């Protein structure tokens, strides 16, 4: 069940007069708050218990990609549950898992050799970390001294301890710092809006970041690093920030120089979200290991995974040939069946091409409509993955004080029946950099009218102290 948080219990009074539910038995993210309850869905709409009908302009957290209530996916999942709901992957595989992994491997143009299916993006990252380490242990001759990872600040790679250690999301890390792996160091992210000096060209900026990574390898010991880990488009920690041209090629070159692997985390930006099936296809590099998640199953089942290239798989095959990892529910048949159907629909309906063209409309519309607003610092993204970052002072790019909760305020305001739009809020990811932003990442099947409506609805009202999702046109909750 999807639950959406509101400001206070008083706001829980629904539009049809329903009163707030009694105390929840769920260990919610915030124990002091009541949450909205989702009762149903229709196309790209969320229908709440109180009757509200919300257009899901963020696909949850960039998850929903073919919309909701898809009968083909429901039928395929149901059939799998009836035929063979579960099997232990210690002994068995299923047609659903084999076909899904074949589809994924084939989608990489021969670069990737095998896919590994788990239940969440965090699990996919944990597996990626261990696969990279095991690769070097199994190499002949072995390189057991490779125990370190280099990742980037203001990043997010998941919530479990290994994945959390890779990420640089301050708020999500800080209470758990003493528990996190010590063998991870971080370099600067590539964020031209925030960190590129005005007089610097893209080439100079990339050269600076490549030198920083090279220096970090030197600092920790060039032959001690398993992998450099990065999101091709930074999602939750920065709000859809792509890198500047040439950045990933330069990072790949540094990894190659020191024999380290490149792990790209495409859990949020991958599987079509960026306008190509894999975001790395726009970067001119191929990772050694790639993680995928959200748009893999489009929310129909909990599913994520990793893809590993021939070098990594051959390394393991020539060693013990056993990846020492595994979960009870890995390769879950019903999850694989659902994801396979989602991916077939994406292919048959050419939805990745729709992402690219609708994404252009969305970016142009947002730029035209709110680009000039004094509190809109930056609009950036790719495909149907767009972030709007808010600033209190556009010349100095100052962020709003944390206590104002600008992004959360806008996101909550969107749930008001007058606007009835779901946008994803983000903030508090960075040391000294708040970067309040909203993410707009609708399903891949949106039409021109949907994009026009989103653009009209996400209006930042000028001179409004806390800013707000502004006046919507006639398309309100039905």
Contacting positions for ligand PMP (CB under 6 A):
61, 120-122, 125, 156-159, 231, 235-236, 265, 267-268, 293, 304
* In the complex, minimum distance from the CB of residue 255 to ligand PMP, in angstroms, rounded to a whole number: 19
Q: Please say which residue, 240 or 379, places its beta carbon nearer to ligand PMP.
A: 240
Q: Please say which residue, 276 or 375, places its beta carbon nearer to ligand PMP.
A: 276
Distance of CA 269 to the CA centre of its chain: 5
- Do residues 61 and 236 lie in contact, with contact meaning Cβ atoms separated by under 8 Å? yes
Q: Please say which residue, 167 or 470, places its beta carbon nearer to ligand PMP.
A: 167
- Do residues 62 and 439 lie in contact, with contact meaning Cβ atoms separated by under 8 Å? yes
The two tokens of residue 115 are 């896919």
CA distance 71 to 187: 45
CA distance 442 to 64: 7
3-class DSSP assignment, residue 306: strand
Q: Please say which residue, 325 or 394, places its beta carbon nearer to ligand PMP.
A: 325
* In the complex, minimum distance from the CB of residue 409 to ligand PMP, in angstroms, rounded to a whole number: 21
What's the CA angle centered on 138, arms 137 and 141, to 5 degrees?
85
* In the complex, minimum distance from the CB of residue 265 to ligand PMP, in angstroms, rounded to a whole number: 5
Count H helices, E strands: the chain? Answer: 15, 18
Closest CA to 234 of 186, 274, 182: 274
Measure the CA dihedral 361/362/364/366, to 10°.
Answer: 150
Q: Please say which residue, 442 or 470, places its beta carbon nearer to ligand PMP.
A: 442
- Do residues 148 and 226 lie in contact, with contact meaning Cβ atoms separated by under 8 Å? yes
Q: Please say which residue, 148 or 294, places its beta carbon nearer to ligand PMP.
A: 294
* In the complex, minimum distance from the CB of residue 124 to ligand PMP, in angstroms, rounded to a whole number: 7
* In the complex, minimum distance from the CB of residue 70 to ligand PMP, in angstroms, rounded to a whole number: 20
Q: Please say which residue, 235 or 428, places its beta carbon nearer to ligand PMP.
A: 235
CA distance 189 to 191: 6
* In the complex, minimum distance from the CB of residue 122 to ligand PMP, in angstroms, rounded to a whole number: 3
Q: Which residues pair with 266 in a beta bridge?
A: 292
The two tokens of residue 6 are 């509101």
* In the complex, minimum distance from the CB of residue 46 to ligand PMP, in angstroms, rounded to a whole number: 19
Residue ranges of alpha helices (H) inside 44-120 are 59-62, 71-83, 95-106
* In the complex, minimum distance from the CB of residue 85 to ligand PMP, in angstroms, rounded to a whole number: 22
**Cβ neighbours of residue 294 under 8 Å, at least 6 residues apart?**
59, 61, 62, 63, 65, 121, 267, 268, 270, 271, 273, 304
Q: Which residues pair with 309 in a beta bridge?
A: 112
Ranked by CB distance to ligand PMP, the top (closest) residue is 121
E strand or H helix that includes residue 339: helix 333-348
Query: SS3 string of 47-67?
Result: EECCCCEEEECCHHHHCCCCC
Q: Please say which residue, 279 or 340, places its beta carbon nearer to ligand PMP.
A: 279
* In the complex, minimum distance from the CB of residue 237 to ligand PMP, in angstroms, rounded to a whole number: 8
* In the complex, minimum distance from the CB of residue 89 to ligand PMP, in angstroms, rounded to a whole number: 19
CA distance 286 to 280: 6
Q: Please say which residue, 120 or 301, places its beta carbon nearer to ligand PMP.
A: 120
* CA dist list (Å): 405 to 61, 196, 289, 374, 441: 18, 26, 36, 18, 21
* In the complex, minimum distance from the CB of residue 269 to ligand PMP, in angstroms, rounded to a whole number: 7
* In the complex, minimum distance from the CB of residue 335 to ligand PMP, in angstroms, rounded to a whole number: 13
Q: Please say which residue, 156 or 453, places its beta carbon nearer to ligand PMP.
A: 156
The two tokens of residue 186 are 């971080």
Q: Please say which residue, 61 or 476, places its beta carbon nearer to ligand PMP.
A: 61
Residue ranges of alpha helices (H) inside 107-201 are 121-138, 161-166, 170-173, 192-195
> Rounded to 5 degrees, what are φ and ψ at 389?
-100, 135
Q: Please say which residue, 121 or 377, places its beta carbon nearer to ligand PMP.
A: 121
């Amino acid at each position: 069940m999807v639950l959406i948080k509101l400001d206070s219990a008083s706001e829980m009074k629904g539009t049809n007069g329903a009163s707030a539910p009694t105390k929840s038995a769920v260990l919610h993210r915030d124990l002091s708050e009541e949450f909205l309850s989702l009762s149903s869905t229709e196309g790209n709409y969320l229908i709440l218990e109180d009757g509200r009908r919300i257009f899901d302009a963020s696909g949850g957290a960039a998850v929903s990609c073919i919309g909701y209530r898809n009968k083909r996916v429901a039928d395929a999942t149901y059939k799998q549950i009836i035929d063979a709901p579960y099997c232990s992957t210690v002994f068995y595989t299923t047609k659903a898992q084999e076909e899904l992994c074949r589809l994924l491997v084939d989608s990489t143009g021969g670069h990737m050799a095998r896919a590994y299916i788990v239940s969440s993006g965090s699990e996919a990252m944990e597996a990626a970390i261990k696969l990279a380490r095991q690769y070097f242990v199994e190499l002949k001759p072995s390189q057991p001294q490779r125990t370190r990872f280099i990742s980037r600040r203001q990043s997010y790679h998941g919530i479990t301890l290994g994945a959390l250690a890779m990420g640089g999301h301050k708020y999500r890390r800080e209470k758990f710092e003493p528990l996190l792996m010590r063998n991870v160091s971080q370099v600067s992210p590539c964020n031209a809006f925030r960190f590129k000096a005005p007089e610097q060209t893209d080439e100079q900026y990339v050269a600076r970041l490549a030198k920083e990574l090279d220096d970090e390898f030197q600092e920790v010991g060039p032959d001690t690093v398993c992998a450099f880990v990065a999101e091709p488009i930074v999602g939750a920690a920065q709000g859809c920030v792509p890198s500047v041209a040439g950045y990933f090629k330069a990072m790949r070159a540094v990894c190659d120089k020191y024999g380290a692997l490149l792990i790209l985390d495409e859990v949020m930006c991958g599987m079509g979200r960026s306008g190509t099936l894999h975001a790395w296809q726009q970067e001119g590099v191929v990772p050694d290991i790639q993680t995928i998640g959200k748009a893999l199953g489009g929310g129909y089942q909990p599913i994520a995974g990793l893809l590993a290239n021939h070098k990594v798989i051959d390394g393991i095959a020539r060693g013990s040939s056993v990846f020492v990892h595994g979960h009870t529910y890995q390769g879950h048949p019903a999850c694989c069946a659902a994801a396979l159907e989602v991916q077939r629909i994406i292919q048959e309906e050419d939805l990745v091409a729709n992402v690219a063209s609708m994404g252009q409309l969305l970016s142009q519309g947002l730029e035209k409509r709110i680009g000039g607003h004094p509190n809109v610092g930056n609009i950036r993204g790719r495909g149907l993955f767009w972030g709007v970052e808010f600033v209190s002072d556009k010349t100095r790019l100052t962020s709003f004080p944390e206590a104002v909760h600008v992004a959360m305020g806008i996101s909550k305001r969107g749930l008001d029946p007058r606007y009835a739009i779901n946008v994803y809020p983000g903030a508090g990811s960075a040391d000294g950099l708040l970067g309040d932003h909203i993410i707009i990442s609708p399903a891949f099947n949106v039409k021109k009218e949907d994009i026009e409506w989103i653009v009209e609805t996400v209006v930042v009202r000028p001179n409004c102290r806390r800013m707000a999702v502004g006046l919507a046109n006639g398309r309100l909750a039905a």
